[in-house]
Amino acid sequence: MAADPQYRAQVTRRRLLAASAGAAAVLGAAGLPVLQTNGPARADGKWRVDPLIPAQNRGIILYSVRDRISAAPDDSGVPYGFERVLASLAEMGYKEIEFAGYNQHTSILGRQITPTEIRKILDDNGLVANGTHTSIRADTFQQQLDIAEELGMKNIGTGSDPTNSAYQSDWDAAADLWNELGRQAKERKMRLYTHNHDVAYSFLLDSGPLDANGKPTRSSGVRRLEYFFAKTDPKYVFFECDIYWAYVARHKHTKYINSAGQEKTSLFDPILNVARRTKRFPLFHAKDGNRNTALPNGYEMIPLGEGDINFQQFFQTIGESDFHHANWEMDTAPGGAANPGQSLDFARLSYANMADLTIYNKD
């Protein structure tokens, strides 16, 4: 993947700063701010250019570089393990880390690293832990809060949905559990969050004829996670929007069968989904994709700023830039034995493109 600065600047201006007319019309009709593609024409000091994502809120989930976190010492010259990889990420400019496990190769220390040792590496590199993808269960939640507290986290979460079910009753039960666990997290000065994949925005089965097991077979048109928004207490339950998977949901989950057996179309808008409740989203996965309707998901993952998702419009419209924290993620970043440095190269390119996102403000 080329990382030439001139090439990168051309790509980010073309793909990150161009808002589609269709999206602008939808946002305007909803009473939300519409991205202006032309900057201020004058340079009289009345305008300034600010970063759209503040430097201190630019992060990475370590899943993107999991190959190098878990690597044994080798002669590739590529960093491995927490100490070397986190130092490399800090050098790139990242300020925040979202964890995807707390283990590295035992040959590095002759044993497994401890959360206390990881915290020292964070501190030594000026990094802050902004969250984690861990297992959220009632029987182990306090132990997970202990680890999160040791690492200095303000947020604790999971990469899985609160339930994999399509049925309203299961989401009701999940909401009851998450309200309680969220209350426990708040007592420890943390926020509990869940992270979406595309299926979270598929349609709830909540109406129509029942099947042989007494389960509903049709939908009122409510999406699973949107139902969960309403059933959970905003003081206790928060969300991490994976922007890539939200756009996949827009591509995949467009139709449902209503209680009368009629097929209905309902388009999902990732920007409006967040903008209506922007303070419930402290974290985001800034994951990019090339549009490719020949693929089942409609997109192919690619480093941030090199794809077709309009992050400029997304982050500018949802506002609250000081509240929101963006973690770069690319599930397919590792290059394997053929290119062991690929995930870190992509991390460097993605950070530079994230830093290029800017907004005009009046003084």
Minimal CA–CA distance to 76: which of 304, 343, 351, 348? 343
Q: What is the average per-residue pLDDT within 141-158?
A: 98
Domain of 183, CATH number, reads 3.20.20.150
Q: Are 141 and 178 in contact (CB under 8 A)?
A: no
**Does residue 34 or residue 188 have the better pLDDT?**
188
Q: What is the average per-residue pLDDT within 316-333?
A: 97
pLDDT over 70 (residue 9): no
**Total domains in the fold of the chain:** 1
Q: Which pLDDT band, with edges at 50, 70 and 90, does 48 fall under? A: confident
Phi and psi at residue 233, to the nearest 5°: -80, 125
Give the pLDDT of residue 22: 44
What residue numbers bound the domain in which 285 lies?
Answer: 5-16+47-362
Q: Is residue 150 assigned to a domain?
A: yes
Q: What is the average per-residue pLDDT within 105-134?
A: 98
Q: Is residue 29 assigned to a domain?
A: no
Please state at what angle helix 115-124 crosses helix 141-150, rounded to 10 degrees: 30
Cα 114 to Cα 111: distance, rounded to the nearest angstrom: 9
Give the pLDDT of residue 30: 55
Instruction: For residue 95, list its beta bridge partners.
Output: none
Give the pLDDT of residue 41: 43
Tokens of 122: 């964070």
**Residue percentage of the chain with pLDDT more than 90:** 85
Cβ neighbourhood burial of 335 (10 Å; 0-12, 13-18, 19+): middle
Q: Which pLDDT band, with edges at 50, 70 and 90, does 38 fall under? A: very low
Give the pLDDT of residue 28: 57
Q: Is residue 329 assigned to a domain?
A: yes
Q: Is residue 284 assigned to a domain?
A: yes
Cα 340 to Cα 84: distance, rounded to the nearest angstrom: 14
Residue 331 DSSP label: T
Tens digit of pLDDT for each residue in 204-223?
999 999 999 999 999 999 99
pLDDT over 60 (residue 32): no
Q: What is the C-alpha R_g of the chain?
A: 21
Q: From residue 86, how far is each of 46, 90, 191, 212 by CA, in Å?
A: 39, 6, 24, 53
Give the pLDDT of residue 44: 57
Q: Which pLDDT band, with edges at 50, 70 and 90, does 201 fall under? A: very high
Tokens 């920007």, located at residue: 271
pLDDT over 80 (residue 110): yes
Q: Is residue 199 assigned to a domain?
A: yes
Cβ neighbourhood burial of 2 (10 Å; 0-12, 13-18, 19+): exposed
Q: Is residue 25 assigned to a domain?
A: no
Give the pLDDT of residue 49: 87
Tell how strand 207-210 and strand 216-218 pair up.
antiparallel
pLDDT over 50 (residue 322): yes
Q: What is the average per-residue pLDDT within 190-208?
A: 97
Give the pLDDT of residue 64: 98
Q: Is residue 28 assigned to a domain?
A: no
Q: Is residue 192 assigned to a domain?
A: yes
Average model confidence (pLDDT) across the chain: 90
Q: Which pLDDT band, with edges at 50, 70 and 90, does 63 fall under? A: very high
Phi and psi at residue 293, to the nearest 5°: -70, -5
Q: From residue 340, how far is each of 70, 118, 130, 263 by CA, in Å?
A: 12, 23, 26, 48
